[in-house]
Amino acid sequence: MAEQAAQTTPRDGANRSPRGGRRDDRRAQAPQEPKEFEEVVINIDRVARVVKGGRRFRFKALVVVGNGKGKVGVGVSKGQDVQTAVAKATDVAKKHLITVPIERETIPHDVEVKVSGAQVLIKPAAPGTGIIAGGVVRQVIGVTGIRNMLSKSLGSTNKVNIAYATIEALQSLVPRDQWLNAKPAKKATEKKVAKAEAK
């Protein structure tokens, strides 16, 4: 009896379905490439168009994409379902990328921009401040690679206009080395050294 019982006990892993194991293996082997751009869905609205037979509903998506290294873009698009709208908006955002000049994890100077009814003010901040911003501005800034910044959204609360105002503000930033009275860092240090030697 003991020998029969020993023969009938299942081996380790025999009760597992072979299909389940294969599926897990396939998942483990699938190469996962890191995404170049981070996509953030800011807002999804249901919009209606009135036609002779009634109303036709579609979805409008507002998406921001960024690589965390100074490139960012905003896209708005409509689709029959949410997934289609988001995919189309992401494509639009990738086609309209801008490059943001980042100086020591913040912006080079403060800017105030008005787009339609939305007005956005962005200012540089000291290291360790973080991103002090409201919903839409925070989401746009979050994918740029900026770590310290102050901002204030004035006027309209329309999310699309605020997103576009933020992008325009970032686009109008001028790098420190292109300022009218800016001096190259090397020359400035050379002058300081020369003055110290003269004394």
**Domain CATH for 42:** 3.30.230.10
Residue from 122, 113, 123 nearest 156 by CA: 113
pTM beyond 0.75: the answer is: no
Radius of gyration of the chain (CA): 27
Residue 192 lies in a domain: no
Chain Cα centroid distance, residue 33: 18
Residue at 164: amino acid letter: Y
Tell how strand 149-155 and strand 131-132 pair up.
parallel
Per-residue model confidence (pLDDT) at position 185: 46
Full residue range of the structural domain in which residue 129 is found: 38-177
How far is it, in rounded angstroms, from Cα 171 to Cα 36? Answer: 21
Per-residue model confidence (pLDDT) at position 189: 42
> What DSSP element (H or E) covers 162?
helix 159-171
Per-residue model confidence (pLDDT) at position 27: 54
Per-residue model confidence (pLDDT) at position 67: 87
Residue 195 lies in a domain: no
How far is it, in rounded angstroms, from Cα 159 to Cα 34? Answer: 29
Do residues 93 and 140 lie in contact, with contact meaning Cβ atoms separated by under 8 Å? no
Residue 29 lies in a domain: no
Residue 143 lies in a domain: yes
Residues of the chain with pLDDT under 70: 1-34, 180-199
Residue 110 lies in a domain: yes
- Per the structure, the count of domains in the chain is 1
Residue 168 lies in a domain: yes
Per-residue model confidence (pLDDT) at position 188: 44
